[in-house]
Structure 1
């Protein structure tokens, strides 16, 4: 099975860790490093460590790097693809944990989860909150509860050929789960360990990075399940309208008057809520027509 397995490492400025990750991963299959526009020695060290290297001349995003790797895997006839991060957070020695359900024919897509063992206790507080939000949004989009942002995952050729991924950034991991749930791809989680004391762990601001991923996932939900998204927005609008109505009428029982500004605001938010529901219904019909 080793000769039929490709391990894909998307990498951006990971010269400090890429060599050791490649060396450990080589035990379980061929290693492909997709250098996503690094300006350090990532490509050189990866190649010297025994990896196949494909390089983007400019940084295009993790999603683009993975899609480059998937395209290569399909063209070379690999049966199984494993994805893991290049920064040392994931332990390549745990690759067999992800391969086992696929080899046994129990799953098509296997995700390494931080929530199935004690690893969740190691997650920093700010990450826990962010992951909870992103996992919740993914559950809304795909109706499955998994560690949606785990970059440590494996899939067989059936899954690889079934997926038509559109995301270019980190939302590709949610995109993969949504499509798997829609296309009958069998999904399974296995417990993994994750390290957070790695070099370059804050290459991006956690807040802006989290909001960026959330924005991409919301857009994905809007495309896949518009009625759900617009219903949530509509309920939020109606809730604001209810609060304003209460605020406007509260002085009526004590002073015999109402706040006109709040009444107008409540009416506006009520109209917005109705329009959001109508838009969701319309887009839901259009989305079904496009899929059919």
Structure 2
């Protein structure tokens, strides 16, 4: 069943060992479109249950990461002439009944990427505090990378138009695919909007990975994306940090001199070294920025 009479919708659900929740997620989602479950190397009954409930299942033989699972789903959508794709997590955190909210801006031609945001209706208050801090950092770095003001860059509940699918050239394997998607579509001038969604956190197996290592890993990938796509921004930030450290050492070195004593030589040398590092970082950023522009052109 499709969400309207003209648009052909595919609901892509990447899944890894989600036998406890995949059945209910598929059952609720299939009211709004065809359902494709991309089983990313599960060792439990995820694929079997998804098929029994009515989903098409594509399975990776090994766990290749969420980014690769989504790429498989997007390729299937393009090959089978779908007009829009909705991405939905398999763990039950997202409410499939909200799928029409994400599709509406695409159906009306108002957006190419619609992100379900936990921050637009205060649903983020249910997020554990330590995760809120991590999400804030990831949101800010994604905004820096993409130049698009997004409140919930890491939300996996999102919808894409066919134009967006045809424009994507994803390289991400893991969870930083969400940030890469935003940056890539923004760079190509496609319109990105957010709609409010609700999220549940009382779901089984809600943490498959250590949240700290997971967050650091995603952050490293996003920072790398900034360095590759916007090197002047990244190197300017690093340069300012180096200059700030140089300023601290300079103050430390000169403080006794202002009181009638001698300059601390070691701290003065450190200030000079960090000043040179800051200059070199800024020059490197300028150089890489020119090269990045040449490559893109």
Bucket of the pairwise TM-score, normalised by the shorter protein: over 0.9
Cα distance in structure 2, aligned partners of 1:155 and 1:252: 63
Corresponding residue of 1:14: 18
Query: Are the equivalent residues in 2 in contact too, given 1:8–1:83 (CA < 8 A)?
Result: yes
The 5 Å alignment of 1:56-71 reads 56-71=60-75
Structure 2 residue 77 is matched with structure 1 residue 83: no
Report the Cα offset of residue 4 of structure 1: 0.9
Report the Cα offset of residue 255 of structure 1: 5.1
Deviation digits for residues 174-199 of structure 1 (CA, Å, limit 9, x no counterpart): 11111121112111111000111111
What CA RMSD, in Å, does the superposition of the two structures yield over aligned residues?
1.1
Of the three residues 116, 127, 151, the one matched with 1:112 is 116
Deviation digits for residues 39-60 of structure 1 (CA, Å, limit 9, x no counterpart): 1111111111111111111111
Of the three residues 40, 44, 59, the one matched with 1:55 is 59
Q: How many residues align?
A: 292
Could you list the runs of 4 or more consecutive aligned residues of structure 1 that deviate by over 3 angstroms after TM superposition? none
Structure 2 residue 145 is matched with structure 1 residue 130: no
Give the TM-score taking structure 2 as reference length: 0.96
Cα distance in structure 2, aligned partners of 1:255 and 1:72: 75
Cα distance in structure 2, aligned partners of 1:145 and 1:18: 32
> Which consecutive residues of structure 1, in runs of 5 or more, have no partner in the other structure?
none
Cα distance in structure 1, aligned partners of 2:25 and 2:91: 8
User: Which is worse superposed, 209-218 or 255-264?
Assistant: 255-264
Query: Are the equivalent residues in 2 in contact too, given 1:62–1:168 (CA < 8 A)?
Result: yes
Report the Cα offset of residue 213 of structure 1: 0.2
Of the three residues 197, 204, 207, the one matched with 2:209 is 204
User: Which is worse superposed, 206-215 or 243-252?
Assistant: 243-252
Report the Cα offset of residue 109 of structure 1: 1.0
Report the Cα offset of residue 142 of structure 1: 1.1
Corresponding residue of 2:179: 174
Structure 2 residue 270 is matched with structure 1 residue 274: no
Cα distance in structure 2, aligned partners of 1:7 and 1:48: 17
Of the three residues 169, 177, 190, the one matched with 2:195 is 190
> Which consecutive residues of structure 2, in runs of 5 or more, have no partner in the other structure?
none
Report the Cα offset of residue 18 of structure 1: 0.7
Corresponding residue of 2:36: 32
